[in-house]
Structure 1
Amino acid sequence: MKSKIALRLLAVQLDWTDEEATEEFSALQLMITHKYDGYQGFQPASRFHVALLNWLSQFQHVAQRRVAFSIIKERLVYITQREMHHLVSLMMPELDRFMRKQVAMELGVQFYETWTNPAAGRRLCLLRRRTLFVGLSDGARIDVFRRYNEGKISNEQVVPFSEMSSQKWKSLIKELREWLDKHNYQDEPASFESICLVDDFSGSGDSLLRFDDEEQIWKGKISKFYNVNREKIGDILAEKCHLYAHHHLASFQAEQAINDRLARFGGDHPEFSYNATFSYVLPQSIVVDDQTPPPELIDLIKCHYNKGIQDDHVGDNIWFGYSDCGLPLVLEHNTPNNSIALLWADSTGSEFAEQHKMKPLFARRKRHSTNG
């Protein structure tokens, strides 16, 4: 569908005057061109115009369609590939600050002196090389991280997956030993002082770490990594190895949850020390919940809902998304289930045929686990 025809149809759906249409088209077309048309969830040759028209058609009244459009105009946070790559580029500077603080404490110098003190510079160089960067998902963009830091880190300290064979660990240690000998660190053990687990986004923190009250055990990627690798402490991993959990993007809710859970997990599992780092944390002010004005917005979100989108992973009544995160968020490669359901949910095939038939604006690719 040509964009001019689509925009005319959009003006009809929203009952815009000529003046409103002129004003709205300009801003909308800019965002479509530079952002929304790049969404990877669209079918080949399809465009945002078509998705928007189809999405708005599920609302019966003009007033409802206008409220729905206000989500796109005033609240939607859309992260493009270029923006996500920028967040990836911020990861190493964030980790570098933690490393400099560690070195400053070890040497008894001021933080700013780590840039000028020769001993601090040498210790930092060693600490960086004895850090292993591990991707937790295909969204971690560990390849992009490696390219951004070419010359600063070695290819042999970056791995795209957390479950590594014993042969892979031996290879990593062999490369580390060779580097240590080559750079006059012969007295240093060939073991990793730090592990950085990398992921792209966290909305609730659940997929990284959570405590199961029924089973009374910790679950999530941190717990799994700990259980698989704790026996390597003192050998492949240095004593009191530092475990960083880095997300390129996170919600305010996830930041709070992850920091709290890591503190509790660390108390029960002291073999590692733990820190959470983030390239950017979305402010709490973007969250949509029951208190968000206007009330027509919340009515729209809750009334246009179908229970058929619920399952064992996301739970019940997820009109504000998984774990009630209430994020008006879309990532270029997928829409998190932490986002408000009206943006991504498709109730096609739902057993609740009498309820509203939900149509997605940014169709979500489902995964077995949460985007937590």
Structure 2
Amino acid sequence: MENEKLITEYDTVALDDENNSLVIIDQTKLPGKKEILRLTDIKDIWDAIYLLKVRGAPAIGVAAAIGVYLAAKEIKTEDYEEFYKQFKEAKSYLSSSRPTAVNLFWALDRMDNIVKENKNKSISEIKQLLHNEAVAIREEDIWVCKQIGEFGLTLVKPGDGILTHCNAGQLATVKYGTATAPMYLGHERGYNFKIFADETRPLLQGARLTAYELFESGLDVTLICDNMSATVMKNGWINAIFVGCDRVAANGDAANKIGTSVVATVAKRYNIPFYVCAPTSTIDMNTKTGADIKIEQRPAEEVTEMWYKERMAPKGVKVFNPAFDVTDNDLISGIVTEYGIAKAPYTETLKEIFKRKKNY
């Protein structure tokens, strides 16, 4: 039976080309049910991204690349201009699903460049090139996360206590995760980390996803409510904090799941290093500062009703529910990428990271 497999033995996001489908784990059903979705319609793929059935910046990017490839595959024309018109419509539609995670736009732009750069080829050749690019984006994500894990491991030592917020784990990527990559690699190498996972209100990604995947994988993980993070830091149980992010600005400000900036602020109080694990695809050098990052607003029901048998807030009360907050760069000890660790001043070191990427 499928349910007997560990959650990390499933593909978080994959392409089933033969059946023209995007294959994902429905993360809204976890940890209670391991349900695999096979999505063929672009509207269902849009819904899966918006409704967080697939989530995490890297996984969203991979899903979008596969989704726009599948949409292109269905376009019935041999005329390039008509093909590109319909392709752009599909790209624009998918890009409207989540506004904050830059990987979504990065992946769709990569796919768009394939179409633009090969306008002299036949439509069938362009479709094949789009397939190759979607597969490449997915395979690159595995390498990127492994590299982030290797660099992240240089910042900690065996036996350390590590805190994380939200889910930047394998369920947010293809494999290893970003913030959890050092944890998984350390586990393989006998580091015996003590992991603390914030529950992450209101969607509980830390409780439902991070604690779940780490626990199933045999890591030593303790779940805590978000408002307990200061206590575990003050107790001396935390040596480092690793979080993921959805967008890093050129100055090092980082947008991540709501509550991340609280963790960073408390970490500064207790002199605990706070690291953001960010693939270069998540670093947006065209966004000057965190103030320029559009923050997604989510439905009020996620706060007042979701997860409860009965509504847990008075009817009619106003609700503010931003999906993300921005952690200011002066609270960040380092940004861990697949090409090394950037430290302040980020306006300079992030440029250096991209130079390394170009010369790699």
**Structure with greater contact order relative to length (CA < 8 Å, sep ≥ 6):** 1
Question: Considering the TM-score relative to the shorter chain, is it more than 0.5?
Answer: no
Q: TM-score, normalised by structure 1?
A: 0.35
Structure number, greater radius of gyration: 1
